[in-house]
Structure 1
Amino acid sequence: MDDMELEDIAKALVAPSKGILAADESTGTIKKRLDTINTPSTEETRRDYRELLLSSKGAGDYISGVILYDETIRQTAKDGRPLTELIKSQGIIPGIKVDMGAKSLAFSEGELVTEGLDGLRDRLNDYHKIGARFAKWRAVISIGDGAPSQYCIDTNAHALARYAALCQEAGLVPIVEPEVLMDGDHNIDECYAVTETTLKTVFDELYKQRVVLEQMLLKPNMVISGKDCPEQAGVEEVATKTLYCFEQTVPAAVPGIVFLSGGQTEQQATEHLNAMNKMGKFPWEISYSFGRALQASALAAWQGKPENVEAAQAAFLHRAKLTSAARDGEYSADME
């Protein structure tokens, strides 16, 4: 794993039957998750929860890589091993979230730009030494009253491309994540139009900044109805429109598309992924990089109690197995 070429790492992350676990919730976000099970968010409880997921026996059958947060990648497991070593012992590749979050975009009320380019080169070199072999940067695009502006899309695409180039220079595979949010009452066709424009802009910037497409992965949203849209598109429509959009915008050189779940339930995200993989062969692998859609059942089973660790791990592995089946187009609802 340590001496793999970037192209090999990218391919390994989208190997058949496998996908990525996003466990890179910021301290604020993980606190919200732990609040739902009445567990205080401390450095120890955050470590215990992530260790529970990462030490589940057999996780490596379904999980190719895990995206960590800065705190987590530096932590040690209960047995004293660095968490990165625990992850590698399962045959899973450690990765790291490197952006500093979305902040208000100047002169564009309500729109956001992701920050974190300052000092990024040094941070990437540091993460590589700690054991990370890929990284992630998320840009946030909202659909709403007059939004998104092309200015917002351009600014975020430029930052994503600069991040990706610095990753490749540091020996890390960049996961490029332009997320068009589900929040809002827009329909699936509005989501399609914004996603298409965003992806075209992102790949234009990646080209300008000399990013090697064979050495990166794309982590996008699915083309889906807004959460508050009265008419929700069905599974087949989501799969068809998502794939058509990506055929128009994503170069064949990109090894894989690892979809985010972005506010969908575990089952919704799994059904959509499965429907896409049933639609035949595409130039890129179609996989997953799910956070909540891999973790919700495990979190609910754990409840912050040591005696529930085994039950939580069983829930996590069950969900990972179903998501893996969807990755191969072999999922059905009766497997739930």
Structure 2
Amino acid sequence: MNKSTSMSIPIANVRGIEIRVHLTFALVLLWAAFDWGISQGLGFAGAVYGLLFVSLLFVCVTLHELGHSLFAIRYGARVRDITLYPIGGVAHLEGDLSHPKHEFWMALAGPAVNIVLVVILGTIAIPLMGWRALDGMGVLWSRLQGLGPERLLMDLLATNLGLALFNLLPAFPLDGGRVLRAALATRMGELKATQIAVQIGQGLAMLVGLAGFFTGALNLILIAAFIFLSAAQEWRGTQLKAALRRLPASAALIKGGVILSPYDTLARAINAALLTGQSDFAVFNQGYLVGVLTRQDIAAGFQRYGPNIEVGRLTHTHLPTAHPGDSLWDIHHKLEKSGSPAVSVVENGRFLGLATVESVRRALQFAVA
């Protein structure tokens, strides 16, 4: 379990996508109750309104992320979960979209959901406000200034419209920036397209940050910092992906070394690791690969069972397989998708060696150096 998952709790599951709420989300609810109840002087009713509005707003954010996620699934990616943070929702995707047009439509799906919500909310709000207007515009205005359903509908409508327009800004990694990258990638490749999209996104972020600085708007400064840092992170990730795609699986192949039997004791694995520095061990039984024993398995097994436990009880079996001509990105994807600590590299049915997370990292470091 990763750190972000351990700090969040599941609240729903939609078509296999787990919806989670980060524990820090409670800060948003506290802020909403304080702002509407105390800062705006609306008392208990204002606090309740603030909690209701923010809760419904994050339902809209979840629907926005589901729009992205369902399109990603349609195009072959896997969505691990959607997590709601104080700054918004994040869909955690695993896998790669095979074509820029897939990213194009996936990126547009989120804002499209907000536009649909604007239409639905407007369809409900307009007749309701028209009915209120029959009693006079003063009555309608007082209802909009109060804490009734009219104001809630209009606040949600305006916020969804704002979310759609904001996310369509060509400031990578916002949705509009992803649309821009996808359009550029069809002509110049993903790496160059990402570089241009990141430069535009960070440029817009600096302009937003300056506007926030001179106007004293802290929220604009925070938004600018988020866009700037997220764009930098996306650029590093794209560079890493490009590097992994250039290197063959054979670059991360662990050949030779000490081979264990499932009937060997953990003490033998520990001695081999200390003498050779080997961290991951292939486990064979009668000439057939059984699985892999990693350094983490050795440490956890020793702590729990001691040195006399048989290696076979700690071995990871059912390893995914790869061809030596596959790229390190393919290996990385297989490791991530399977959750396995290693991939078995075979050619024409012959076992060549193992590729692990550690060996992929070392191969990448060696290539960069």
What's the TM-score, normalizing by structure 1? 0.27
Structure with bigger RCO (C-alpha 8 Å, 6+ apart): 1
- Higher-Rg structure is 2
Which structure has the highest helix share of the two?
A: 2
